[in-house]
Structure 1
Amino acid sequence: MRILVVDDEPNIRKTLRVALEAMGHEVGEAASALDALRDVERRPSDVALVDLRLGQDSGLSLLESLLLQSPRLAVVIITAHASVDTAVEAMRLGAFDYLPKPFTPAQVRAVLERVQRVRGLRARIAGLEDQVRVEVPEVDLESDDPEVCRVLDLARRVAPTSAAVLIRGENGTGKGVLARTLHQWSNRASGPFVTVSCPSLSAELLESDLFGHARGAFTGAIRDASGKVAAAEGGTLFLDEIGDLPPPLQPKLLRFLQERCYERVGETKTRQADVRLIAATNRDLEQAVAAGTFREDLFYRLNVVEVTLPPLRRRSDVADRAAHLLRFFGRQTSRKLTGFTAEALEALKRHPWPGNLRELRNAVERAAILAEGPEVGLADLPERIAVAQTPGAVEGAPEVGGSLTLEELEIAHIRRVLARASSLDAAAKTLGIDPSTLYRKRKQYGL
């Protein structure tokens, strides 16, 4: 690494240069804050060892200026006047570490090894992010559809605040994507984004997953666990499918929303958390409140700002979304795909898309793999989409009494009911089953 030594004492600079060069590093020297800023401007450094007192200058003031000029620089404060207060202030301002004088070459080496480990982890994270961008379609929320434009405008306005946001919409409409985008647009973007899936666990396990637990709180709790709320400190906690939150847990979440405090399972100690909360649901929460399965006060606490994502069948940008996905999968499969035939495009526009954007992604990925030429044709699309465009066919409806199993008939019927229903609760009512039963069937059949 290139290391800049900033100290007004020549002997200190000389001693550090000898030690650092013996470790294999390249060393620059600066006797003042001005010299240090000029050095970083001329040539980037990886680490700066900065004395707390530089004659008339302050090492803490220089720390801020260096990080403004070079945000990736790891600044280590060195001083003979060490105190807890100055150490805390240095770390608050962004110092990587704090090294009190006198120090040994071994102590300097240990600090630099930590810098290199962090640099390695950052490089690994960047590599993983690049890999994700290659393997997962780029999320493009921008749209010419008027309803989507209104949603994004509202999201941009609410993102910088700390207000709770409730995102509503059918499965596959991109609620999780919008939640993450709200986080990235907020002033908490540098903090964590933590997701809790409310239908995934029993009430007891979900409480532990959310708030954490103490060792011995229940069978299998062999060690303390901090929980998702603690993990989201300084960032955003996303509660996915909040409508499925078990009733026993609802008052505890309400208290957390009101007071920003909670207790771990098996503990009496009250803890505080600085967390922004975003929730999402595909259920009719007003109906759940009327039925007594969801607390009214919790609903209003969650619903400070409501954002509703339109289903794909009501959007005017299906062709644009499909073209965007086709370009991605064309790059991924190293194929030159120019677009869709007129028949295929018409099929995409007419399909009701009960699975919304998630179903569209799967359909386009399949078509990109199967297409024999540069254009995706009707035959390359899934049968449920292509058959609906055949003359005489009605949305690919199966024939009752035909050569179908009961399961195939049930899948087709549920798909068509979902396509026409205004919500999952309305679909469940039409089908004559509970919303929870419909949820399980959709998961079972991949709808």
Structure 2
Amino acid sequence: MDILIVDDDKSIRTTTALALESEGHYVEMAEDGDSALKRIKEEDFELVFLDLRLGDQDGLTVLQDILKLRPRQLVTIFTAHASVSTAVKATQLGAFDYLEKPFTPDQLRAILAKAKKALQTRDEVVRLEETVQELKAEARHGSPPMRFVSSDDRTNAELETLFRAAASPASVLILGESGTGKSVIAREVHDRSHLRDKPFVTVSCPSLSKELLESVLFGHVKGSFTGAIKDTWGKVHAADGGTLFLDEIGELPMEIQPKLLRLLQEREYERLGENKVRPCNVRIIAATNRDLVAGVAANTFREDLYYRLNVISITVPPLRERRADLLAFANDYLEFFSGQMGRKLNGFSESGRQALIRHGWPGNLRELRNAIERAAILARGNQIEDVDLPTPAASESPTGAPSGPVIGGEYSMEDIEHFHLREVLRWAPTLQDAAAILGIDKATLYRKRKRLGID
């Protein structure tokens, strides 16, 4: 823990600090209430030891000032035997506990154990409150729950591999195009792991300059750069004991990569502008839409960092390669947004379904979500038609670019039929579904496959 000792007796400060540091805690000291309040404004301390007698200052007044500044601050009162009754009054005013001087190492450890348990309970309450707020925000502005079971064999295999490893402490690397749901999958890995009740902290690597990103990750001390007006903890500290999710890790500047590698290898880090090494136990999940192997070859991404991150790795297929899931996702989005808007929409018409299938969805689930939200708002009837969707409904191939015969080109009818039949069979969940999409019965589909030589 990070602990502040406030006592006007130098010997008490020093001996207590040595005892705490021997237990692996970070300790700062203050000799009076004013300097203590200054440090508490600048820094987050998990526990404060406060003497009731601070020269001319009243410890109870300092306690009240601390709790006004940080209402959830844990404060343990130092007290002599003659003033135990005053210490009891301090607990009534909001002090966490009191410790009678002189105290033994075992008594100090007991206070620390009690404080650690209280901090865990407090953090769980905070996370619960944050979860409730997230759920409320999700209900107002979000999306339906992500599907983690796929009709696509490749996607299912990738997700099964990932979730089997969720309970391990191994680093995870999630690859895939933008919009494929990598951040949602990362959160699901955390929720299925032994760390589910611990923090899940996200850092978006491309969103900040190198200097600010380093500060956001590792924290900084006052004066370490222009604008650093106080000591600050970073996301690594916030994620301690839980999961740190690094979104778009491929954008991480080379200058910061050795520090992340140190965190992965040694489980330690330093704040910007500080020489003190701090331990931290976090599980790293990273995601990127970049080719990290190419980055290693181009010397824009460290090879040793890549292998440290790549213990468990999956690639989330793009939506154009998950045709069996496309309509399921679309129906989930439509049910969610129509319910949100109080509209009764009865799925997609045939033209709407065909428009969804023809589009390549280069923006993947993010683009699909926006398209269905717009359609749910603008639909004229009780079904979504092709005209309600902001997607090309004509000759676009399922990959977003022609990968076979193009309508109107110099191709025979047999060429076009062969290509269309093969593509529908590739993504349709069953032969019955393929026959229904093609508008023929299963027997006719069987004969056409045999005639055209399609497996």
- Provide the TM-score with structure 2 as the length reference: 0.60
Match among 112, 130, 138 for residue 144 of structure 2: 138
Match among 357, 362, 369 for residue 365 of structure 2: 357
Post-superposition shift, 1:165? 0.5
* Maintained 8 Å contact 1:347/1:389: no
What is the aligned partner in structure 1 of residue 177 from structure 2?
A: 170
What is the aligned partner in structure 1 of residue 351 from structure 2?
A: 343
Q: Which whole-Å CA distance do the structure 2 matches of 1:267 and 1:336 have between them?
A: 59
Is 1:310 matched up with 2:317? yes
Per-residue deviation, residues 363-419 of structure 1 (Å, max 9, x unmatched): 10011001111100011000x3335479xx998xxxxxxxxxxxxxxxxxxxxxxxx
Aligned pairs for 1:237-386 within 5 A: 237-315=244-322, 316-382=324-390, 384-386=391-393
Where does structure 1 lack aligned partners over 5 or more consecutive residues? 1-75, 98-114, 396-447
Q: Which whole-Å CA distance do the structure 1 matches of 2:170 and 2:190 have between them?
A: 12
Q: Which whole-Å CA distance do the structure 2 matches of 1:121 and 1:162 have between them?
A: 21
What is the aligned partner in structure 1 of residue 161 from structure 2?
A: 154
Distance change >3 Å, CA 226–CA 389, structure 1 → 2: closer
Per-residue deviation, residues 70-126 of structure 1 (Å, max 9, x unmatched): xxxxxx9999999444444455567999xxxxxxxxxxxxxxxxx9xx989956852
- SS of the residue corresponding to residue 277 of structure 1 reads strand
CA RMSD of aligned residues (A): 3.0
Query: Identity, % of aligned pairs?
Result: 50
* Maintained 8 Å contact 2:222/2:229: yes
Count of paired positions:
298
What is the aligned partner in structure 2 of residue 191 from structure 1?
A: 198
Q: Which whole-Å CA distance do the structure 2 matches of 1:95 and 1:192 have between them?
A: 13
Paired residue type of 1:230: H
Distance change >3 Å, CA 94–CA 124, structure 1 → 2: closer
* Maintained 8 Å contact 1:344/1:377: yes
User: Please, which moves more after superposition, 79-88 or 224-233?
Assistant: 79-88
Match among 231, 234, 239 for residue 241 of structure 2: 234
Paired residue type of 2:147: L
Post-superposition shift, 1:137? 1.2
* Maintained 8 Å contact 2:162/2:312: no
Where does structure 2 lack aligned partners over 5 or more consecutive residues? 1-95, 403-455
Post-superposition shift, 1:130? 3.0
Q: Which whole-Å CA distance do the structure 1 matches of 2:125 and 2:238 have between them?
A: 23
Paired residue type of 1:239: L
Paired residue type of 1:367: A
Distance change >3 Å, CA 231–CA 119, structure 1 → 2: closer
* Maintained 8 Å contact 2:360/2:396: no
* Maintained 8 Å contact 1:243/1:282: yes
Per-residue deviation, residues 159-198 of structure 1 (Å, max 9, x unmatched): 1011001100000001101111111111111111111111
* Maintained 8 Å contact 1:347/1:388: no
Q: Which whole-Å CA distance do the structure 1 matches of 2:343 and 2:189 have between them?
A: 34
Q: Which whole-Å CA distance do the structure 2 matches of 1:235 and 1:213 have between them?
A: 21
Is 1:213 matched up with 2:220? yes
* Maintained 8 Å contact 1:388/1:394: no
* Maintained 8 Å contact 1:77/1:90: no
Q: Which whole-Å CA distance do the structure 2 matches of 1:121 and 1:149 have between them?
A: 31
Post-superposition shift, 1:246? 0.8
Q: Which whole-Å CA distance do the structure 1 matches of 2:217 and 2:178 have between them?
A: 23
What is the aligned partner in structure 1 of residue 189 from structure 2?
A: 182
Paired residue type of 2:141: E
Post-superposition shift, 1:347? 1.2
Post-superposition shift, 1:251? 1.3
Paired residue type of 1:227: G
Paired residue type of 1:157: R
Paired residue type of 1:307: I
Q: Which whole-Å CA distance do the structure 1 matches of 2:97 and 2:272 have between them?
A: 41
Paired residue type of 2:135: E
Paired residue type of 1:173: T
Distance change >3 Å, CA 279–CA 125, structure 1 → 2: closer
Aligned pairs for 1:403-442 within 5 A: none
Distance change >3 Å, CA 84–CA 288, structure 1 → 2: same
Distance change >3 Å, CA 124–CA 141, structure 1 → 2: closer
Paired residue type of 2:343: R
